[in-house]
Amino acid sequence: MKKKIFLQLTTEIQIRNFYETGLIEQLKKLFDIRIFLPAYLKNYPEVISLGQKEDIGFTEITEKRAKFIENLITLSWFEFRKRSNALAIKRNRIIKRKLYFFYILSTPTIVAKIIIKIFLLFVGINKNILTTLQKEKPDLVWIISSLNENTTIDVLKASKKLKIKTCVTVGGWDNLVTKGTVLIKPDVLAVWGKQHLEHAVTVQKMHPSRLRVVGVPAFETYFENINNSIKVKEDFYRLYRLNDNSKIILLGGSCYPFDEASALLRLDKHITSKNLNPHIKILYRPHPWGCVRTNEFHIEKLNLKNVILDIQVAPIYNKRFQGKEVVCERAEAPQLDYYSLLLQSISGCFSPYTTLLIEAAIHSIPIVALGYFDGVNNYVRGDMLLSFKHAKQFVELANIPIVKNIDDIEAKFDLLLEMSDDHIVKEKVRKAADYVVHHDNESCSKKMEIIINELL
């Protein structure tokens, strides 16, 4: 009989990154895995679609309890502020009254640590989740998490109450340094690579014996397809009706409010003034979940001659501007197969702080980082984001030039064009990606299989 695993996904994007990549399907051949999601995601299209293929369950948390745990997570930002600078950057998102309150509760930081431990006891066990686990009787609880979800904390608490072994797989690049403290330590924390190992120990104070490296399932196809780049590039160029001699420079959008339109306008004029067209095209890929920008408008109003809007996210981007006001509506996660085509076809990449930095580096794509304050979007400033611990380490290791002022963007664009033919630069960014994302001949699913068997 197969051993039973209770698998808690905590966000809808994990369906794409872990289920649709085939990771869970491979493991289901060896283990009896039942997937659970937070109840508030029930009506999301991805969840409905998954429910047509799998017998999924839902974990519930009351609004009052969720709010309480969210405050504990916020307090944990303050508790670990000396180990990670994320709080210094994120504090603008906290109203001043609440900001001062949390500083009082965390000065010195040991006070916050004690308060968190006391209130974790005070909040007790989530009875709904406890009952679900008692009914399911799993041999192991596996959680895929960003580490800042109340669901993660409640499932871990209930699992420990029932003395069930636990494994948490880290979902995102920044999770160990920007989301707060891992309030309840799992038996095993599965991470992306070497950088995560360091952050788990130095920031999260996890014991090295609890850490395992699994890589990133969503990136496995990148490594598999890299050798097919010539054919892929031909197909991609046809998709955009581009000349084979053209070079595509990708400019990726930020999830945080950032004025990409001004950057695009300046670069468009620069390409024209230097007579680089039609050989150079900028492919603008807005972030599919980008926050609304100050005074935002559709880039079509700029009549750009050398900028192409990314086909995959164009429908999501266009929808923002259909009403009287710009609206950022939730959109389904773009399919991963297109990413591989895109990244194998570009010659250079302008990127703000996003995981696109890593994805480009995996493909040996020269990068220039956008790290300046745009003068209008002050919520989480572009010049602050690249100082996040994990991003700063990567940018320095890869020796990535940074646009620190928009007046420097044309010069950095010219530099990026030079770098696009520099094999030393390409190799340097690829090696920097190895520091973040581990990859070898053993699949992520095989690594997870080993971890699961170790815990059972």
Q: Are 146 and 103 members of one domain?
A: yes
Q: Are 299 and 178 members of one domain?
A: no
Q: Are 306 and 451 members of one domain?
A: no
Q: Are 104 and 201 members of one domain?
A: yes
Task: Determine the pLDDT at residue 278.
Answer: 76
Count of structural domains within the chain: 2
Q: Are 82 and 151 members of one domain?
A: yes
CA pair distance 217, 206, nearest whole angstrom: 23
Neighbours of 47 (CB within 10 A): 19
Name the residue with tokens 């104070």: 205
Cα-based distances in Å from 125 to 35, 113, 153, 264: 21, 20, 10, 51
- Average pLDDT score over residue span 214-237: 83
List CB contacts of 333: < 8 A, sequence separation 6 or more: 12, 13, 15, 16, 17, 46, 288
Q: Residue 50 is which amino acid? A: L
Q: Could you tell me the residue range of the domain that residue 274 belongs to?
A: 222-436
Q: Are 125 and 208 members of one domain?
A: yes
Which CATH number covers residue 19? 3.40.50.2000
- Average pLDDT score over residue span 396-418: 95
* Residue 104 clears pLDDT 90, i.e. is over it: no
pLDDT per position as a tens digit, 161-210: 999 999 999 999 999 998 877 889 999 999 999 999 999 999 999 999 99
DSSP state, residue 15: I
**Residue 229: pLDDT band with limits 50, 70, 90:** low
Q: Are 237 and 352 members of one domain?
A: yes
Q: Are 16 and 153 members of one domain?
A: yes
Kindly report the pTM of this predicted structure: 0.92
Lowest-confidence segment of 128-142, 281-295, 345-359, 379-393 by average pLDDT: 379-393
Lowest-confidence segment of 63-72, 245-254, 296-305, 328-337 by average pLDDT: 328-337
Task: Determine the pLDDT at residue 153.
Answer: 94
Task: Determine the pLDDT at residue 445.
Answer: 95
pLDDT per position as a tens digit, 67-103: 988 888 888 888 888 888 876 677 666 777 787 888 8
**Residue 418: pLDDT band with limits 50, 70, 90:** very high
Task: Determine the pLDDT at residue 409.
Answer: 96
Q: Under DSSP, is residue 122 helix (H, G, I), strand (E, B) or coil?
A: helix
Q: Are 120 and 245 members of one domain?
A: no
**Residue 359: pLDDT band with limits 50, 70, 90:** very high
Q: Are 388 and 241 members of one domain?
A: yes
The C-alpha R_g of the chain, in whole angstroms, comes to 23
Helix (H) / strand (E) containing 266 = helix 260-273
